[in-house]
């Protein structure tokens, strides 16, 4: 796409952005004033939602950016306990899940999702970054027992949150200990999945104040998700066991100094994956809920340890915060690779090495370990002044070690012949980032203000790579890379009144460059950072005496030097290069309505048009990923939506009943770019899921019955070719089929 065409697209976006809300902006003030004059009161008002998206507590209604907040207590009452359940209610978000790596895509900003690709959406837990800046890795499937809420920040967050938050940010807000009272909760439940088995969940939490200045909160959980995918070779199933907990402490050292510390731990183990085998048209090869894998293949074990300490000093005129974090992640996965060129030669190698195997195949033993230490110090102004400001400094030190061993293994028994590694790859990386940032909002009048901010970051990367094995000579490579980037934020905001606000948000983001760590000829040793600029026009309003809220945002994103995986044709090795430009534009709508004290209604919609703005260039002839100007970016649905309805009703004897329904729609998507025009991209069809829930609650207990995916819809969230040909079969990740469950809870 030419620069003129890009300017035309931007000008068209700006014209639509200014014209479409214009009539609404003219109409809504009169509506709001009419409401004030009319004096009508609704039977029930919306709860005030407070967020910390801008590192200070604010009303959601007042924050000049597109944000969606998930109430985890509500989600838990509807039988939603996993990330996949949470994210299904968020239009415009795609969650790509695999055992070793998971990826979150916001506003279509993504090109890859594999373990080697770098994230484009950030994750923080209580203001501490989680995950690797070097790889997508596995996302913690945090249990809702200790989650207060999940804030989804859309659009680049580079100024306050740094690199790898180009598409947006997921912010987990955990529950703090309470020094005022002793209380707790016990919860247990069971579920069963169509075409599969049963599962259970158990969780407990307790708050223990030791004085009016010190309290502890302890939560523990264990969950087994029901299996629904069957391995036709071994009988293994994709049941998943997750256990963990969190211990947090709150110490009010004095009237002005508070210390919050927490330790989070979580262990995950899966018996197999939810990937099923299909032909290129997504027709099942062994049945809709089956795959054919080596015994013990596609299993995963993961361990998360996450420690945080936040020290806050109230200076009166400002709040000084020191936020320290340490994250440790250990993961191991066995990957069936019998479909690869080398894997298909396993019988030949077994004969050469004299291995006692009746059914030789192959697998890769993947191990990936990361340790990350972060430190942030920030000073945030307090009180009402013409200028609200905050300044801060950030440091991150990350070490990552990876091991990949390609073994011959017996498909029937799963026996691994570890004395004969065909291929070995060892990686050792160190990544450091230092940054300073400043953010301010100047209030010209009580109605009009402008927010502005900037962040300067320097990062360095050192990578060692060792390869060897029986099929290749030992190789060693070393590379280092240094980079710097500055991100900016500019956001005017106008409040018509307390119920109506509009804003413009111009923000930039970036993702650090890196090294390919390879000695293969013609493959570049390193690749540059990529960056983007985002333009967002939004409106937030509350109507009908605060019983109805409407949030709307239009956005346009210009993405340059995007990082993309390519394939070297001789050895088939993957590597990363920079590949031109892309753009994303769209619309986001969110409605919350409380028509009466007994009813709650929510609805959200997202339209995302994310495409290449240039052909993808190749560094080596025949090696480039194939993508043409105008092709859709991977994983992003043009249309997605969700809605929910809930009613509460009295049952007598201090009992209350409730019943609700929800629906979520995910539009069709294209998967990753292929290596040539002769191999079409994988196209996933749209799907719709429906959920129902009903229950009874007393003063200290509740019972909930729920159904997820009521219609037993077959939906795919990801797919990859198991081979290099257009006719190669696919491995496609399924959504969970119809699941029925019951949960009992007791508060004390």
Kindly report the pTM of this predicted structure.
Answer: 0.90
Q: Which residue has the tokens 């052909």?
A: 615
CA 279 – CA 728 distance, rounded (Å): 7
For 80, 177, 185, 537, the CA distances from 747, given in Å and listed in that order, are 19, 16, 4, 44
Residue 499: name the closest of 31, 10, 9, 166 by CA.
Answer: 31
For the chain, percent helix, then strand, then coil, each to nearest 5? 10, 55, 35
CB proximity list for 358: less than 8 A, separation 6 or greater:
410, 412
Supply the DSSP symbol for 412. T
Question: What DSSP element (H or E) covers 159?
Answer: helix 158-161
Q: What is the mean pLDDT of each run of 10 residues along the chain (748 residues)?
A: 53 48 42 42 73 93 95 78 83 82 89 74 92 73 83 95 91 95 96 95 96 97 94 88 95 98 94 93 96 90 95 98 96 89 89 89 92 97 95 96 92 91 90 97 98 96 88 84 93 96 97 69 75 97 94 98 72 72 97 94 97 77 71 95 96 93 97 86 97 95 96 95 88 96 96
The pLDDT value given to residue 234: 85
Q: Which CATH architecture has domain 3-747?
A: Beta Barrel (2.40)
For 219, 543, 596, 647, the CA distances from 41, given in Å and listed in that order, are 41, 11, 10, 20
CB proximity list for 533: less than 8 A, separation 6 or greater:
506, 507, 508, 557, 558
Residue 49: name the closest of 60, 63, 33 by CA.
Answer: 60
Q: DSSP 3-state assignment of 87? A: helix
304 is written with which tokens? 């998360």
Radius of gyration of the chain, Cα coordinates, nearest whole angstrom: 26
313 is written with which tokens? 């000093």
Question: What DSSP element (H or E) covers 262?
Answer: strand 257-270
The pLDDT value given to residue 358: 87
729 is written with which tokens? 């079969």
Is residue 242 within 8 Å of 289, Cβ to Cβ? no
The pLDDT value given to residue 61: 93
666 is written with which tokens? 């995910």
Ramachandran region, residue 33 (left: φ > 0; alpha: ψ -120 to 50; beta: rest): alpha
The pLDDT value given to residue 523: 66
CA 165 – CA 615 distance, rounded (Å): 25
């Amino acid at each position: 796409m030419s620069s003129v065409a890009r300017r035309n697209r931007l000008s068209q976006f700006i014209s639509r952005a200014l014209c479409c809300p214009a009539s609404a902006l003219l109409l809504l003030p009169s509506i709001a004033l009419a409401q004030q004059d009319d004096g009508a009161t609704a039977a029930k008002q919306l709860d005030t939602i407070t967020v910390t998206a801008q590192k200070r507590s604010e009303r959601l209604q007042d924050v000049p950016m597109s944000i969606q907040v998930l109430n985890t207590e509500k989600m838990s009452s509807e039988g939603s306990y996993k990330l996949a359940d949470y994210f299904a209610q968020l239009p415009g978000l795609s969650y790509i899940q695999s055992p070793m790596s998971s990826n979150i895509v916001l506003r279509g900003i993504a090109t890859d999702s594999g373990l080697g690709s770098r994230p484009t959406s950030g994750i923080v837990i209580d203001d501490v970054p989680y995950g690797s800046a070097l790889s997508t890795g596995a996302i913690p499937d945090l249990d809702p027992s200790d989650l207060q809420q999940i804030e989804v920040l859309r659009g680049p967050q580079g100024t306050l949150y740094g690199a790898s938050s180009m598409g947006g940010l997921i912010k987990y807000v955990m529950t703090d200990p309470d020094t005022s009272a002793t209380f707790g909760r016990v919860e247990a439940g069971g579920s069963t999945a169509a075409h599969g088995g049963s599962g259970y969940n158990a969780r407990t939490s307790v708050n223990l104040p030791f004085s009016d200045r010190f309290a502890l909160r302890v939560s523990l959980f264990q969950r087994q998700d029901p299996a629904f995918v069957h391995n036709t070779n071994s009988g293994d199933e994709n049941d998943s066991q997750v256990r963990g907990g969190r211990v947090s402490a709150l110490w009010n050292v004095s009237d002005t100094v508070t210390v919050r510390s927490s330790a989070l731990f979580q262990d995950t183990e899966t018996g197999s994956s939810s990937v099923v085998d299909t032909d290129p048209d997504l027709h099942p090869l062994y049945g809709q809920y089956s795959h054919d894998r080596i015994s013990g293949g596609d299993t995963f074990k993961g361990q998360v340890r996450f420690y945080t300490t936040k020290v806050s000093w109230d200076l009166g005129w400002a709040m000084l915060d020191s936020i320290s974090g340490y994250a440790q992640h250990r993961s191991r996965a066995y990957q069936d690779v019998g479909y690869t060129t080398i894997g298909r030669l396993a019988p030949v190698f077994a004969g050469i090495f004299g291995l006692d195997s009746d059914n030789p195949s192959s697998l890769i033993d993947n191990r990936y370990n990361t340790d990350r230490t972060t430190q942030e110090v920030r000073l945030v102004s307090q009180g009402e002044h013409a200028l609200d400001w905050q300044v801060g400094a950030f440091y991150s030190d990350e070490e990552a070690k990876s091991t990949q061993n390609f073994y011959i293994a017996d498909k029937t028994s799963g026996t691994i012949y570890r004395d004969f590694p065909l291929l070995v790859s060892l990686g050792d990386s160190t990544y450091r980032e230092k940054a300073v940032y400043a953010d301010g909002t100047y209030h010209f009048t009580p109605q009009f203000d402008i927010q502005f901010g900037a962040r300067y970051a320097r990062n360095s990367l050192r990578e060692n790579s060792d390869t060897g094995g029986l099929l290749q000579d030992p190789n060693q490579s070393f590379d280092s890379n240094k980079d710097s980037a500055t991100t900016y934020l500019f956001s005017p905001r106008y409040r018509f009144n307390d119920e109506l606000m509009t804003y413009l948000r111009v923000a930039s983001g970036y993702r650090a460059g890196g090294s390919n760590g390879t000695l293969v000829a013609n493959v570049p040793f390193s690749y540059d950072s990529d960056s983007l600029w985002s333009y967002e026009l939004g409106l937030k309003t509350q109507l009908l005496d605060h019983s109805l809220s409407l949030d709307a945002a239009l956005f346009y994103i210009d993405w340059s030097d995007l990082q993309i995986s390519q394939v070297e044709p001789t050895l088939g090795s993957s590597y990363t290069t920079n590949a031109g430009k892309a753009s994303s534009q769209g619309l986001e709508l969110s409605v919350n309505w409380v028509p009466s004290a007994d009813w709650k209604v929510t609805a959200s919609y997202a339209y995302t048009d994310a495409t290449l703005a240039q052909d993808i260039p190749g560094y080596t002839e025949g090696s480039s990923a194939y993508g043409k100007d105008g092709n859709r970016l991977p994983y992003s649905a043009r249309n997605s939506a969700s809605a929910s309805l809930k009613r509460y009703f009295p049952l007598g004897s201090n009992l209350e009943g409730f019943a609700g329904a929800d629906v979520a729609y995910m539009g069709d998507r294209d998967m990753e770019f292929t290596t040539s025009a002769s191999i079409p991209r994988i196209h996933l069809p749209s799907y719709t899921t429906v959920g129902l829930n009903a229950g009874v609650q007393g003063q200290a207990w509740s019972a909930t019955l729920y159904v997820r995916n009521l219609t037993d819809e077959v939906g795919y969230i990801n797919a990859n070719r198991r081979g290099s040909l257009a006719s190669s079969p696919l491995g496609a990740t399924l959504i969970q089929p119809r699941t029925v469950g019951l949960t009992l809870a007791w508060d004390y």
